[in-house]
Structure 1
Amino acid sequence: MPTSPPTLGTLLKGLRARENWTLKEMSAKSGIPVSTLSKIEHDRLTLTYDKLQGLAKRLGMRMTDLFAEDQEEPVQLVTARRSLGDVARSVRVETPNYDYYYLCTELRRKRMIPVVTKIRARSAEQFGELVRHSGEEFIYVLSGAIEVQTEFYDPVTLKPGQSLYIDSSMGHAYLAADGCEEAEVLAVMSSPEEELMESLLTLHHGQRADAAENENEPPTLGRRLRGGL
């Protein structure tokens, strides 16, 4: 019988249960108020990417473990693992400017992170500072059009079927191109670092939704997918 896809709230609740932490104990370890943690666990509040990155660091864990479901993993060298990607089973993260669908999240310690992203940011002001992180990345436009801004090159516009491969340590930003309300892309990031997911969060650095912890902000992060979007 099919099960519902996980939300960040259920994943955090499962982590807290595995570690046998109370909300107060997790608040002390993470630096996030108890009331905020409770709202996140009940999928009523979002977190910014910076907050997610800080949460993982304070808890001393990899981002892949933060996003992973509660299941035992044998301590052994994996030589033939497999994961079928499905947007309806992805871990979905929503922000005012972007929606991210993290695929194949049940695999831990992976060196490639596949993400389907819907891009709505239209300007550098919306995106924020150019981002940099370890490794390399490949981006392929599925629909719409995007403008790619990079540190050492002039901006370039990509349309459906076009792609770009870059060194991720070079400052970069992805924006919806002129005349495009929303673009959808497939991005695959890779790095020799085991903590790739944690490093990858800087990709979203420009989306400083400071109002995310404001009780008046509509809930986005951790919203459960229903019927595949």
Structure 2
Amino acid sequence: MSNEAPVRYKVAEAARLAGVSASTLRLWESQGLVVPGRSETGHRQFSVEDVARLKRISWYRVERGLNPAAIREALEGEEPPDNSEVTAISDIGRRLRSLRHAASRTLDQVAGDMGITASTLSTLERTSQGVSFKTLHDLAEYYGTTVSRLSGEVSDGVPAIVRSGEWRTWPETTPGVTVQLLAEGRTMMDCHRFVLAAGATSEGAYRHEGEEFMHVLSGRLELVLDSDQFFDLGPGDSLYFESRRYHSWRNRHDGETILIWINTPPTF
């Protein structure tokens, strides 16, 4: 049995993970939509389950346009949580830890190879939180796998149709970056819906085999290829490029940027 304490987030951390502002989170608390725990000193503490609830509240508010009373009613009418999101968060950490153990590597050794601190890697293995998108990609490459597989995306017996708003979401390893699955199963394409909070970035360039296509639905994205080709993409813009080219990106919009992002073959 693990003696590790449950993960708890402060207001700013929970807001960032949920893709909303701290003031919005406090407003929702005042409206009774979420009730965080308290530390011994009285400070708010949000659990992983609270963050999952915040994401549902945001979806009802943005996608359905519901008011607080309607959101509260919708949340109460949902099936009791089965902790699937909590399981997903712990699963990706366990996968990374299992891969490290299989490679007979210590935290210090892998962290040194990745250019990160051992404490950062330890936190990632426990909570799936706290690293850049580039670091997550580099770790997957280091272990000879892909980010999609680490996130539990590849599975059998999944439906061919994914309904609007019912997208399964990757564990949110990088603050402000939400990746939702538009197609599941053992496909020849990774089909994702990216939701980038203001200021979200890959925090560095990465590359892999294959080709990729992106189409911006809203907001504004800056994509940089090979460190010297800059593309400013707005709503309705698309871009196709070879994945072996180094690419980095950031949300240039003062709000969310949402885009469709497809990789083939599924090497990301």
Q: TM-score, normalised by structure 1?
A: 0.53
Question: Is the contact made by 2:131 and 2:174 (CA closer than 8 Å) also made in structure 1?
Answer: no
Distance 1:54 1:44, change over 3 A: closer
Question: Is the contact made by 2:154 and 2:185 (CA closer than 8 Å) also made in structure 1?
Answer: no
Question: Is the contact made by 1:117 and 1:187 (CA closer than 8 Å) also made in structure 2?
Answer: yes
Does residue 117 in structure 1 map to residue 194 in structure 2? yes
- 1:137 counterpart residue number: 212
Does residue 147 in structure 1 map to residue 222 in structure 2? yes
Selected match of 1:188 from 258, 262, 265 = 262
1:107 CA drift (Å): 2.5
- 1:29 counterpart residue number: 104
Which residue identity is paired with 2:177? D
Instruction: String of CA shifts for 1:60-105, please: whole Å, max 9, x gaps.
Output: 555444222797x69xxxxx97363756521132434x50314168
Distance 1:81 1:163, change over 3 A: same
- Structure 2 gaps of 5+ residues are 1-78, 109-117
Separation (CA, whole Å) in 2 of partners of 1:133 and 1:60: 12
Does residue 91 in structure 1 map to residue 144 in structure 2? no
Separation (CA, whole Å) in 1 of partners of 2:152 and 2:162: 15
Does residue 162 in structure 1 map to residue 162 in structure 2? no
- Structure 1 gaps of 5+ residues are 75-79, 198-229
Distance 1:61 1:142, change over 3 A: closer
Separation (CA, whole Å) in 1 of partners of 2:120 and 2:246: 32
Other structure's SS at 1:7 match? helix
Other structure's SS at 1:91 match? coil
Q: How does 1:72-91 map to 2 (within 5 A)?
A: 82=160, 84=162, 88-91=167-170
Question: Is the contact made by 2:183 and 2:192 (CA closer than 8 Å) also made in structure 1?
Answer: no
Separation (CA, whole Å) in 2 of partners of 1:47 and 1:58: 15
Other structure's SS at 2:91 match? helix
Which residue identity is paired with 1:7? A
Distance 1:11 1:175, change over 3 A: closer
Distance 1:130 1:144, change over 3 A: same
Other structure's SS at 2:249 match? strand
Q: How does 1:46-85 map to 2 (within 5 A)?
A: 46-49=130-133, 51-53=135-137, 55-56=139-140, 61-68=145-152, 82=160, 84=162
Separation (CA, whole Å) in 1 of partners of 2:134 and 2:223: 22
Distance 1:87 1:26, change over 3 A: farther
1:57 CA drift (Å): 5.3
Question: Is the contact made by 2:223 and 2:248 (CA closer than 8 Å) also made in structure 1?
Answer: yes
Separation (CA, whole Å) in 2 of partners of 1:8 and 1:92: 5
Q: Tell which deviates more after alignment, 7-16 or 136-145.
A: 7-16
Question: Is the contact made by 2:148 and 2:154 (CA closer than 8 Å) also made in structure 1?
Answer: no
Instruction: String of CA shifts for 1:194-219, please: whole Å, max 9, x gaps.
Output: 6x13xxxxxxxxxxxxxxxxxxxxxx
Distance 1:189 1:9, change over 3 A: same
Return the index of the structure with the highest Cα Rg.
2
Distance 1:46 1:30, change over 3 A: farther
- 2:249 counterpart residue number: 174
1:188 CA drift (Å): 0.7
Other structure's SS at 1:26 match? helix
Other structure's SS at 1:155 match? strand
Separation (CA, whole Å) in 1 of partners of 2:249 and 2:239: 11
Question: Is the contact made by 1:90 and 1:102 (CA closer than 8 Å) also made in structure 2?
Answer: yes
Q: Tell which deviates more after alignment, 168-177 or 141-150.
A: 168-177
Q: Quick one: percent identity of the two aligned structures?
A: 25
